[in-house]
Structure 1
Amino acid sequence: MLKGINPLLNADVLQALRAMGHGDDLIIADTNFPSDSVARQTRLGKLLRIDNTTAAEAAAAILSVYPLDSFVEDAAARMEIVGRPDEIPPVQREVQEAIDKAEGKSWPMISIERYAFYERAKQAYCVIQTGERRFYGCFAFRKGVIPPDAE
């Protein structure tokens, strides 16, 4: 355990989050996402896990240490429901709440068509699979910057 660090953030996840740079993507995936095969194609090349937790709990833990990229419109994204791209299921509403809380303001996610999401995931730095069993619990977060301390 580390003081001030969410205990869901295991050593492998923390190492990946720390290694990522500005503009790198991470994917939060539900249990139905082809996480292992997609993760093998990412920069990290292996699957990371935050088991036994929801997508929203994992997102809140990650966003407690991970800045979103304020220079782009697509820093937070969700996988669209096939055939119903404008529908927002509860799992996605919960992650939206975690994003807004972490950022201290409304930060709407963009939606990405399912196969386009897979392609973005393959280009990501890493995939983190959660224990989320609800459908469409898949998200992409682009890393931002942390400004220097004021002098």
Structure 2
Amino acid sequence: MLRNIPSILSPELLYTLCAMGHGDEIVIADANFPAHSAGPTCIRLDGASATAVLQAVLAVMPLDAFEPVPALTMQVVGNPDSVPDIVADFQSILDAAADHPAQLGNLERFAFYERARSAFAIIQTGEHRLYGNIILKKGVIEA
């Protein structure tokens, strides 16, 4: 057992977050995302929402302060200016929990899939809200 570690973070996920280096990216994906076929290691957290996982990850991992847009979501197909409720929730969590809060960016659906293929890992959640996907770029731990 460890203290001050959100219990939603499994040993495999903690190891993955620790193994990532500055600039590596991790995807938090909803239940519909093609996580296993995308290529990177897939860590399953089927009983968790994407927002709960985002909150927990940001408790232990810094966002890249050198990157103007260290967090990206997927655009709504056919309505790229739309902001789904879950994306608004992601922004609220970034504002409250990130050590370097940033405005979310977004990518067209297939560009998001392509970017996810080069991620360090994908966390597949049990999130059922559509567009519950976010890519995070890891920052540095400042001394």
TM-score normalised per structure 2: 0.95
Structure 1 unaligned regions, length at least 5: none
Q: Is the 8 A contact 1:78 1:111 kept in 2?
A: yes
Question: Which runs of no fewer than 5 residues in structure 2 stay unpaired?
Answer: none
1:82 and 1:106 map into 2 onto residues whose CA distance is 26
Which moved further from structure 2: 130-139 or 94-103?
94-103
1:33 matched to 2:33? The reply is: yes
Moved over 6 A (4+): none
Q: 2:97 aligned with 1:102, yes or no?
A: yes
CA distance in structure 2 between the aligned counterparts of 1:117 and 1:100, rounded to whole angstroms = 22
Secondary structure at 2:60 match in 1? coil
CA distances 1:70-123 after superposition (whole Å, capped 9, x unpaired): 111221110110011111111111111111111267521001100000010000
Equivalent position amino acid for 1:18 in 2: C
> 1:80 — aligned with what?
75
Shift of 1:51: 2.2
Q: Which residue is equivalent to 1:18?
A: 18
Contact 1:13 1:49 survives alignment (8 Å): no
Q: Does 1:66 align with 2:52?
A: no
TM-score (ref. length: structure 1): 0.90
